[in-house]
């Protein structure tokens, strides 16, 4: 009798587990709007896994997210940054509420990320620090590290929030590469 119950339980578990695994992955490491991510990453010459990781760190893929500082949407773009990007990119019909639209938010967030990558020579950790804490802070930190005769190190970022943010994004980028290579167009 006990052997029959164990066999039945094992069979039921095998039938349930394949359906649970994708759900657990989606909770642990969500991915939405991958078509927009792929398109914007390609347009801006960015790694789509990095874009997904920034979205994960900024909002966990919740497009209604709003920070106390007023940053909005998936990539947490501030109104001032959005206005600057709209002017620079010719977005004449931009309104602030558009930042809750995935297409607009990811387009503007990747535009900003590309600006930071260009400004800091495609040094991803510095660009991420700039995305989070502002380019002037990142410029000071980079200059300080260079004056010490070494490269930029995440561990030396003086803002704990930014240091944790950069580590989180870099870790998540590897997770997205490993978990969603097909969805992000990495294969």
CA distance 46 to 109: 11
Whether 183 is a known active-site residue: answer no
Q: Which one from 21, 34, 58, 183 is the annotated catalytic residue?
A: 58
If DSSP codes are grouped into helix, strand and coil, which group holds residue 77?
Answer: strand
- Partnered with residue 72 across adjacent β-strands are 66, 77
Total of domains in the chain: 2
Whether residues 54 and 132 share a domain: the answer is yes
| pTM score | 0.86
Candidates 33, 50, 32; CA nearest to 41 is 50
Q: What is the mean pLDDT of each run of 10 residues along the chain (187 residues)?
A: 47 56 66 98 98 97 88 95 89 83 96 98 97 97 93 94 98 98 95
Whether residues 91 and 44 share a domain: the answer is yes
Whether residues 96 and 18 share a domain: the answer is no
pLDDT in tens, 76-94: 999 999 999 998 888 767 8
What is the extent of the structural domain holding 48? 32-179
Whether residues 25 and 49 share a domain: the answer is no
Whether residues 1 and 72 share a domain: the answer is no
Q: Tokens 């994960």 label which residue?
A: 56
Whether residues 99 and 147 share a domain: the answer is yes
Q: Kindly list the distances between the CA atom of residue 65 and the CA atoms of 59, 139, 184, in Å, as whole numbers in the listed order.
A: 6, 28, 23
CATH number at residue 108: 1.10.530.10
């Amino acid at each position: 009798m006990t052997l029959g119950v164990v066999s039945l339980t094992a069979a039921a578990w095998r039938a349930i587990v394949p359906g649970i695994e994708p759900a657990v992955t989606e909770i642990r490491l969500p991915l939405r709007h991958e078509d927009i991510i792929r398109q914007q990453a390609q347009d801006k010459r960015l790694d789509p896994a990095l874009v997904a990781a920034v979205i994960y760190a900024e909002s966990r893929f919740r497009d209604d997210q709003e920070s106390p500082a007023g940053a909005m949407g998936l990539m947490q773009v501030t109104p001032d940054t959005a206005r600057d990007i709209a002017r620079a990119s010719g977005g004449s019909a931009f309104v602030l509420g558009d930042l809750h639209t995935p297409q607009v938010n990811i387009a503007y967030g990747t535009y900003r990320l590309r600006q930071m990558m260009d400004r800091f020579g495609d040094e991803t950790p510095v660009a991420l620090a700039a995305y989070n804490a502002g380019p002037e802070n990142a410029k000071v930190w980079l200059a300080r590290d260079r004056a010490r005769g070494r490269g930029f190190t995440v561990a030396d970022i003086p803002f704990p929030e930014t240091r944790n943010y950069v580590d989180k994004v870099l870790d998540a980028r590897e997770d997205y590469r490993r978990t969603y290579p097909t969805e992000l167009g990495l294969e």
